Amino acid sequence: MHGYSRPAARRPPVQTFVRFAMAGEAAAAEAIAKEHFKQTGSAAAILTDLLGAAQQYVRELWHAGSATADDEYRVAMAIESTVRWIQPITATMVSRPEALLFATPLGEQHTVGLRLLAASFEAAGWTAVICEAMSGDTLRATLEERVCAAVAISSTYITRATRAELLSIVREAHAKSVPVIGGGIGFDRFPQLAGQVGIDVLAPDGRTAVIAVRRLLRGRRR
């Protein structure tokens, strides 16, 4: 008598996606993501397990000397193209009244991680408001115009000016009793940075960020 065994979960084709992207074949990489979505039916599986993992994998290749800055750029472009494809899908999943604000500080040139994070929250039901190159003054004005449950900041390269901008953004958010989550390579490179500028939660990927924000907001509402 044969026992029933559940089919194994399909592993995200991270290396294949990165290989096509590094070769400059963004359309082929995006096709791989679309096929994986067809198999899993999960936006989170694409955003975190495939695209987020691809971002991390090419970063590891670069540190190991197996990928160039141009390779990183091509992978980033393939990820961004795939995010643009999936965002209309995640937008239909929005079911909560709360909005989350997703921002990069002034001077930040990289927005792929921010858009990945925003799409992850849309897939979890939140409305995502994206504001690139934000200052503390801009955030203050934005929070006066609309209610946001939390602010998410993504930063890649940390300079003295970036630290000052992050501190200003966090200060303005906290003045409105709005929590701030942080993510991006900059926080990985400087683990003490989050505490220095007052970030409430650090999240390495979209799935972790969604869980962390849910817990954070639940705790504040008690």
Q: What is the pLDDT of residue 221?
A: 65
Tell me the three state secondary structure of residue 12. coil
User: Which of 22-26, 82-86, 185-189 shows the lowest per-residue confidence on average (mean pLDDT)?
Assistant: 185-189
Is 156 in contact with 72 (CB distance < 8 Å)? no
Which pLDDT does position 7 carry in this prediction? 41
- Model-level pTM? 0.84
Q: How many helices (H) and strands (E) does the chain have?
A: 11, 5
Kindly provide the b/e burial profile for residues 15-46, where b requires at least 16 CB atoms within 10 angstroms of the residue's own CB. Answer: eebbebbbeeebeebbebbeebbeebeebbbb
Confidence of residue 222 (pLDDT cuts 50, 70, 90): low
Structure tokens at 151: 């602010």
Q: Which domains are seen in the chain, by residue range?
A: 14-91 (1.10.1240), 99-221 (3.40.50.280)
